[in-house]
Amino acid sequence: MSVAVVAGGGIAGILSALLLSESERFKKIILIEKNDVLGGLLNSSVTEEGYSFDCGTHLLGETGILELDELLLKDVMNDWKLISPLKVSTYFNGTIQHEGPCIDARLIDEPLYYKGVVELLNSKPVEEGRIDNLADQLVMEYGQTFADELFARTIKKLFNTTADQLIPGAHELFVPRRIKILAEHISAELKGSPYLDSKIAFHQIVDQRRSYYPHSGGIGQWISILEDRLRRNGIEVILNDHIRQVVHENGKVRAVRTSTEEIALDQLVWSIPPGILYKMVKQDGTVKMPKIRKVKLFHFVFDAPFNCDCAYLNNYDQTFSSFRITFYANMNSEHNGYRCTVEVLFSDDHCDIRAETIVDELKRMQVLKDLSNLLYCKTEELPTGFPLLTKQYVNELNEQVSYINQNFNNVLMVGKSNGSGFFLNDVLINTYHSVKELG
């Protein structure tokens, strides 16, 4: 009997197990998760007062792959609220805008803005291999002015480091690569150039993809639905345990050992950080902890509707601590107050920012009505965060993945563990294709 073990119960691990269960190749599938619940950050909490909050902004969106969407969304398409178009707002340089997630260059001082436009339009394509870091990339693609005035301060706020310490493209973890310039019709015409299209945004950005969110409660309901599907498909789910050791020989992992048992296997699917496996299988393998941007969540309930109808808002203004704000009240139908979650990024052991500060920022951004009253507040610091995409970290990650792929023919790295994606849909699509190749 062929046995597959999936390490990690995040969404990549859950999807892997579901796909494996539909394959005739494996007769037994075991998913191992160290926590007491599946789903990782795709979970929700419910307070004693009955308020639901997520761990940040999480909506379910169609991937465009029919089989994958049917597998993941068939139980929510008819029962959850359809959100289309998806409305996103931004706050930058003291101004709130409701036309999409991209930074508007027209909000900076006029002389700098026009200088930046000239530099951007005169920039030339550069071969990818010639760009050493994010700072070089931004100057080459946008010119020095926009690199400084639009990106540098935002990157410092979000990453707590300078762009020269990050790999090219690292900013796209938080900041869209396209920016708004000039008049709407001129931008549309310039986007006829593939090179300029990659840098210039439409002024009215409407995301027509179909997204879903529960009518009540939070995104964690999706994980409960998928967990029920796992068990109905005969998948064994082990919680509160993890793989402590692997048994391997002749280029194959033969078994994994948990705290209670040894499990023989034919296929190992690894969806957690590759460094954990790397240290187990490489005799002299050492793994350095990357620098992490941690996340503190501020959960609020107010007694009045918000001044915006977007699903979430990205705050790129460096004078604010808040980054992303999720407006649940604009996505579902609960009537017990107007809920939102504000994400704040930090690097120290503890975030000392107080809830009063964040409420004041919401007022300064004018997303709260003048007479809004705070009904409820709760804060939490997430146990995981975002690794800084430095050159050293990415090189070490690639080395770990490469070593495992080259030395073991029955180990599949999926999700964020293989470094091929970070955003939810990217993780889902990459995992889908990788697992389907197993047959």
Q: 305-341 pLDDT, tens per residue?
A: 999 999 999 999 999 999 999 999 999 887 789 999 9
pLDDT band, very low/low/confident/very high, at 393 (cuts 50, 70, 90): very high
**Element of type H or E holding 255:** strand 252-257
Q: Would you state the pLDDT for residue 209?
A: 79
pLDDT at 126 over 90: no
Q: Residues of the chain with pLDDT > 70: what percent?
A: 98
Q: Which of the residue ranges 60-64, 177-181, 282-286, 298-302 would you say has the lowest mean pLDDT? A: 282-286
Three-class SS string for 146-209? HHHHHHHHHHHHHHCCCHHHCCCCHHHHCCCCCEECCCHHHHHHHCCCHHHHCCECCCCCCECC
Read off the pLDDT band of 249 (50, 70, 90): very high
Predicted pLDDT at 346:
95
Other CB atoms within 10 Å distance of the CB of residue 75? 15
Mean pLDDT of 12-20: 98
> What is the pLDDT at residue 47?
94
| CATH class in words for 3-43+219-290+388-436 | alpha beta
CA distance 56 to 391: 27
pLDDT over threshold 80, residue 285: no
Provide the pLDDT confidence category of residue 206 given band limits of 50, 70 and 90: low
CA angle 338, 340, 343 (to 5 degrees): 170
Q: Is the pLDDT of residue 366 over 80?
A: yes
The per-residue pLDDT for range 105-123, each reduced to its tens digit, is 999 999 999 999 999 999 9
Residue keyed to tokens 């619940």: 37
pLDDT at residue 420, as a whole number: 64
Task: Give pLDDT, residue 135.
Answer: 97
Percent of the chain's residues with pLDDT above 90: 85
- Indicate the pLDDT class of residue 382, thresholds 50, 70 and 90: very high
**Residue 417 clears pLDDT 80, i.e. is over it:** no
pLDDT tens by residue, 143-163: 999 999 999 999 999 999 999
Q: Per-residue confidence at 207, pLDDT binned at 50, 70, 90?
A: low
- Burial-class residue 348 by CB neighbours within 10 Å (0-12, 13-18, 19+): exposed
User: Fold for domain 44-101+205-213+292-387?
Assistant: Polyamine Oxidase; Chain A, domain 2 (3.90.660)
Any idea where the domains of the chain sit in the sequence?
Answer: 3-43+219-290+388-436, 44-101+205-213+292-387, 103-197
Cβ-defined contacts of 82-86 (< 8 Å, 24+): 82/210, 82/211, 82/212, 83/59, 83/210, 83/211, 83/212, 83/213, 83/311, 83/331, 84/208, 84/209, 84/210, 84/211, 85/206, 85/207, 85/208, 86/59, 86/61, 86/207, 86/209, 86/211, 86/311
DSSP for 69-137, written as a single string: HHHHHTTTTTTSEEE-SBPEEEEETTEEE-S-SSEEGGGS-HHHHHHHHHHHHT-----GGG--SHHHH
pLDDT at 421 over 70: no
pLDDT for position 422: 73
* The predicted structure's pLDDT at residue 56: 79
| Mean model confidence pLDDT for the chain | 94
Q: Look up the pTM and report it.
A: 0.94
